[in-house]
Structure 1
C-alpha cells in the first residue's frame, strides 16, 4: 500500500468513526522517542547522551581498525561515543601553521627572491670575501582538507646580508619582496576506544522493539534521528533516506598468516526483521546494506529488502570474496528509507558476524537471553519501599522466568542461577540454587523458571530502615560450548527499584495510547497494604505529530469504581515529554489503603497521547469509562504508563529503570602517585596503563594494588576491561 493511499484510508476510517460511533481508546505509533533508552547500564549512558563536538570546537575523531572476527549480538551497547569536551582524557591537541621556515615556526618572515650573499672582511687582501647566504625553505600549509601536509614550498633568501669584520657581524638590510605573517591553529583529536564497533546515525539500540529476536538487544531503524526527533516533519508524508549504522574500518586485507583470499571463507551474516513491536514498513520503504571499497573509494549497494508484513527474524549471508573489499579500511553499513516525519516503518537488525573459516548457513554454538527480566515482584515493576516492608512476602514473585534461545542445531545444557547485590555492593548477599539439568532444545526459544519466593530459594528482599532501596540482580546461565569470545548474552543485569511509587511498566514505550471522546476516563488499579498518603500521579504524555495545543485533563483518584472519585484536580495542562519520561501531577494529599485507582479524564476533543508498554499485559488492571460508574476493561493487552506516587518528587531518582553499572571508573589512591597505587575495591582483572600518546605501557593482572615504579614521571591513562578510562599522574 502506498503512503498516499495509507493516509487516504486513515482519513476515511477517521471520518467513519466519527459518523458511526468512535472507539473510546486507540493505540498509535510514537512520533518520537527519548534519545536515551531503557536497559542502558550507567557506563553506557554517556554514549547515548553525547553528540559530536560543536563546530567552533571541532574534534577530529580517530578510528581504530578492527581485526577479524567482528561479532556483535547487541546484548551490550557498543556504539561509538563522540566526546565533546576537549578536556576529556582521550583528547589531545596539535598545532598547524600557515607556513614554516626551514621546518620551524616563526611569527613573521621577510624575504627576497634574488640570491643574497654574506661577506667576511679578509685582512690579508683587505677585501670582502663573499658566500651565498643560507637559503630559506618555506613550506606552505594551505590545503583546508589537510592542514598537516604541505601544499606547496618555495626557496627564498633572507632580506639582509651578514657582514663580518674583525670578528664583529652586522646586518645589511634590503627592501623585502614579500612579508609573510603566520597563523597558528589548534586542532583537537580524540583517540578511539577499544570497545565500540559501530558509528550510529539514528540507529537505535534497544531491547524491546524486536519481536522474538535471536538475542536480547537489537538495532532499530525508523524515521527518527539520533536525538529521537523526526528527520523532517514538514508534512506527514515526507520520505527519504533515514538512519545509517556503520561499522568502524575493518582489516580484510590479511593477518599474520598472509593475504586473505576467497579460500579463507570469510562470511558476513546478520538477522533482520520488519515491523516487530513497531510500525509496518510499506513496500516503498526498504532496508539496505552497503559495502565500502577502499579501492574504489565508494559505497556499493549489495543487498536490499522492501517493506513487508511481520515475520520472524531472517538470517542473511555474504561470502566476502571480491578483492575490492578484501582491503584494509573495508566498512559496511545498514541504512533505511522511510517516512521521515516520525517513528514509522521499523526494521530491526540483530547478531552481526564477520569472520573467517565460515560457510553459508553455518550454525552458531550459542545460547542467549532473548528478553530482559521485567521484575522480581508480583505484578509491579516498582513499589514504595515502606509499603514492601509492611508485607514483603506478598510482593516478591514466586518465580522469575528466563527467556532464552539455543542458536545451535544440537541440544545442550544451560545451567543457570542469579545473584542479588545490595545497591553499590560488589559482593552479592544472596546466590540462588543452580538449575543444572535444564536442556536447551536445538535451534529454538525456550524458558527457564527460577524460584524466588518459593522453594528451594525462598528469597525475599531483606528489609532495613531506609525510606527507599535498590537491588542489583545478575541473572546468568552457562553455555559451556558457546563460540563467542565474550559471552555477553549469557548475563542479564536487572535493577529492582523500591522508590516511592507503584508502576507496572518497564519505562519504555513502544506505542501510544489515546482516548478519543470528550469525557472519557482511564484509570489504573493499584493496591497498598498500609495506609499512606498519595501525593502525586505520574503520567508519560508523549509528543505527537499533532501541533501542541492547550489541552486540559482532569486527574482523578478513585477508592472504588462504583462510587464517585475521591479526588479531582479540575482542568490541568497536558505536559508532553519524550517516551519513558514522566510528568508528575501533584495532587492534594489523600490517604489510601487497599485498592485504589488513579488516572485522568479527557476534557476536550484533542487526543491525549500516553506512552504504552506493549511487552507486559495489564489489561485486567486498566479501566475506561465514558459515563461515571460504567467501567470496562481496556481492549488492549499492554500497560498504559501511569504511576501512583507517594512522594513529591523532591528527592533525587534512585536510578533509571534497568540501569546497572557494569563499567565504572577505577577508584584508586594516591593520585598523583609514586611507585604504587591501591584500588578502593578488588579489581580481579587485567589493568592496562597507556601513555597520553596512546601507547600501551604495561598490562598486569591486579587484585587490589599495582606496582608502577618502572614507569617514568608523566600523565597516563589507566583502565581495566570492566571500567572507563581514568587519569593517573606519576610524580616522584
Structure 2
C-alpha cells in the first residue's frame, strides 16, 4: 500500500470534528528481549535429522514466535491469537510488514520488497514421486485487524529444490486484492509434482512482499499441512478445532473488583462465545462441549455444568459456527463470598473423536481476575492509539455498582518505533466531562512508563485515594507534548463507545466509524491503609496572572509547587514560590502546572517579551 494513502493510520479512517489533531493508530513492538532472546536461542539449535511427514502446525501451542522444532527462521513473524478474524484454529502467523521490535524494514515506499519470512526446517521427501500426491496446504487471510495489501503486494510460497535454489511453484503466489473480504480465510493447496522438490532436504517458506516502510500490508497464515496420499478436492481431515479465544464471562468487563462483585445484578455475567471449525466432511455433527471455571489460586471448581447441546450443527469441511455457554450467576459465587479474590480460568473443552495428534486444538482458556481491577481489555494489545497535541486528553468511562475507593490507575504504554521520549502526563479522575470545577475528583502528575515486556502495565498510585459513589466516572490522561504517546489498543473487545478524546475545548465521544477496540486503561481498587472519610469537596482552580507574561507571574494563593513545560513536555522551570520569574524563558507557548495538595491546575502560558 502506498505511504501517501495510509499516512499514519493503520487500517482505520479516523475522522474528527476538529482539524488540529485526531486519534491515531500505530503498530507496536510484538516481541521483547526477555521472550525473543529465549526464542532465538532455541531457534538455531542443531537438528540431527530432518523432519518426516506429516508436517503440521496450526500454531496453537506457540507464543509470539513459531515453534523452532518445525521452523528454522521466522522470529519476525508474529504468532498471536488476536489480529486475525475468526481463523481456522486459535493462533496464526501474522506477516505484518515490521520486524519483532515494530521497526520497518526500509524507507522506500515506492517499491514492493521482501518483508517477513517464515521458513521451515528441512523435511525428508526422499523416495517419493508425483504419484504419492504430496501436497502443501495452508489457510490465508489478508488484512484481518490490520491493513489490506494492494495488488502490488503478495504472499509467496517458495520451495527449496535438490539444486539448492528457491523457486515459486505453480499456485504459490497470492496477490493482494482490496475486494477480498478481510474476515475470510481461504485454503490454498500446492502439489509437489516436480522431482526437484522430492529430496531429503526439502524446505518451504512463506515470503511477504509489500511496502517496507511500515505495517501497511498484513497477511495471516494458519493450519499448515504437508503430507502425502492427499486428495485435495473435498479433503476431509480428522479434526475439529476451537478457532477463537473464549470471550469474558463478564458483560463488557474482563476483570472486576471482588468488593463490587456481589453488588452487581446477574446481568453482569454474559454468555461465553467461541467459534468452532470443522475439517471433516461429516454432516450434521452435533456439538458437545464443557465449560469449567476454576479458581486457580485455591484449585477449586467454581462452575462445571453441561452446556446446551442443541446449538448449530457442523456440516462438512470448513464449516464454522459460533457457540455460547450459559451465563454464570451470582449464586455460583456465593460459596466464595468470604474470600477477597478469585483468579479464574475459564476452560472450553470440545468433546471430539479427533485423531490424537489434532486434539491439542480442542481446548481453549480465558483468564480473568476478581480482585482489585476494573478492566475492559483482554490483556493483549494489537496496536496503539493516541493523539499528538499538547493539552490533548484521552478518557475512558467506567461505572461502579456501589461506593468504592479508587487507589491506582494501570495503563499499558507499548513500545513503538521510533521509541518515544519519556513524557509527562497528568491522570485525572472525573465525575463527568462537563468541565466544571466540581467534576474533577482527583489528579496526579506522572511519566509515561513504556512496557519492557509483552502487555506490561504501568501502575500509577494516586496522591490521595478517591472515594467514588455508585455510578459513572472517567479516567483521563492529559499530555503536554505534540509527540504521540501510545496507549495499548485491544482490537478484540468492542468498547469504543466508552472512549472520549479532547483536542480543543470540547470532549468528543468515539464511535466505531472512528476507532474500534478498547483502550488499555484500568481502574484499580486496591486494599489499602488509607482512611478517607468522604469524597473531598472540589477545590477551586489555582489562578495566576498575568498571561501573556513578560517578567514574572504570580499565583493568587500559596502553592506546593509549580512547573512550566515546553511543548515537547520537558520541564523548563520548577518552583515552590508564589511569585516566579519567567524573563529567562524564550518567547512562545508553554504549559504551566500548579499544584496545591491534591488540586492541580494546568493551563497554557504565553511568554511575550
TM-score (norm 1): 0.62
Match of 2:349 in 1: 476
Distance 1:391 1:424 in 2: 23
Contact 2:352 2:362 in 1 (8 A): yes
Match of 2:547 in 1: none
The answer to whether the aligner puts 1:416 opposite 2:289 as a matched pair is yes
State the SS of the aligned residue for 1:321: coil
Contact 1:370 1:403 in 2 (8 A): yes
Contact 1:380 1:503 in 2 (8 A): yes
In the TM superposition, residue 317 of structure 1 has moved relative to its aligned partner by 0.9
Match of 1:669 in 2: none
Q: Which runs of 5+ in 1 are unaligned?
A: 37-45, 83-192, 254-258, 650-732
Among candidates 146, 149, 157, match of residue 278 of structure 1: 146
In the TM superposition, residue 338 of structure 1 has moved relative to its aligned partner by 3.5
Query: For 1:374-523, what aligned pairs fall within 5 Å after superposition?
Result: 374-388=247-261, 390-391=262-263, 394=266, 396-409=268-281, 410-423=283-296, 428=301, 430-438=303-311, 439-442=313-316, 443-453=318-328, 459-460=332-333, 462-463=335-336, 465-480=338-353, 482=354, 485-523=357-395
Question: Any idea what the Cα deviations from partners look like across 1:421-471, whole Å, max 9, x if unmatched?
Answer: 2216777453221433331244433222211326xx964485255543312
Distance 1:464 1:62 in 2: 53
In the TM superposition, residue 237 of structure 1 has moved relative to its aligned partner by 7.8
Match of 2:76 in 1: 202
Provide closer, same or farther for how the CA distance between residues 64 and 72 of structure 1 changes in structure 2, counting only shifts above 3 A: same
Query: For 1:5-84, what aligned pairs fall within 5 Å after superposition?
Result: 5-6=4-5, 21-22=18-19, 25-35=22-32, 50-53=38-41, 61-62=46-47, 64-77=49-62
Match of 1:323 in 2: 195
Provide closer, same or farther for how the CA distance between residues 234 and 543 of structure 1 changes in structure 2, counting only shifts above 3 A: farther
Question: Any idea what the Cα deviations from partners look like across 1:563-601, whole Å, max 9, x if unmatched?
Answer: 444345465433333773322232222122322211212
Match of 2:166 in 1: 299
Question: Any idea what the Cα deviations from partners look like across 1:391-449, whole Å, max 9, x if unmatched?
Answer: 36547514212222334453321111211222167774532214333312444332222
Distance 1:624 1:32 in 2: 24
Give the stretch that moved more between structures: 544-553 or 347-356: 544-553
Match of 2:497 in 1: 620
The answer to whether the aligner puts 1:637 opposite 2:510 as a matched pair is no
In the TM superposition, residue 324 of structure 1 has moved relative to its aligned partner by 2.1
Contact 2:415 2:450 in 1 (8 A): yes
The answer to whether the aligner puts 1:646 opposite 2:525 as a matched pair is yes
Among candidates 218, 222, 226, match of residue 92 of structure 2: 218
TM-score (norm 2): 0.74
Distance 1:547 1:201 in 2: 20
State the SS of the aligned residue for 1:561: coil
Distance 1:315 1:77 in 2: 21
Match of 1:555 in 2: 427
Provide closer, same or farther for how the CA distance between residues 407 and 26 of structure 1 changes in structure 2, counting only shifts above 3 A: farther
In the TM superposition, residue 642 of structure 1 has moved relative to its aligned partner by 1.0
More strand by share: 1
Contact 2:155 2:175 in 1 (8 A): yes
Contact 2:500 2:507 in 1 (8 A): no
Distance 1:643 1:441 in 2: 42
Contact 1:287 1:347 in 2 (8 A): yes
In the TM superposition, residue 499 of structure 1 has moved relative to its aligned partner by 3.8
State the SS of the aligned residue for 2:336: coil
Aligned residues: 510
* Aligned-residue CA RMSD (Å): 3.7
The answer to whether the aligner puts 1:581 opposite 2:456 as a matched pair is yes
Question: Any idea what the Cα deviations from partners look like across 1:135-189, whole Å, max 9, x if unmatched?
Answer: xxxxxxxxxxxxxxxxxxxxxxxxxxxxxxxxxxxxxxxxxxxxxxxxxxxxxxx
Q: Which runs of 5+ in 2 are unaligned?
A: 529-609
Distance 2:504 2:19 in 1: 15
Distance 2:270 2:27 in 1: 34
Provide closer, same or farther for how the CA distance between residues 506 and 236 of structure 1 changes in structure 2, counting only shifts above 3 A: farther
Match of 1:534 in 2: 406
State the SS of the aligned residue for 1:270: strand
Contact 1:270 1:315 in 2 (8 A): yes
Contact 1:617 1:638 in 2 (8 A): yes
Match of 2:607 in 1: none
State the SS of the aligned residue for 1:488: helix
Contact 2:425 2:448 in 1 (8 A): yes
Among candidates 130, 136, 154, match of residue 262 of structure 1: 130
The answer to whether the aligner puts 1:308 opposite 2:177 as a matched pair is yes
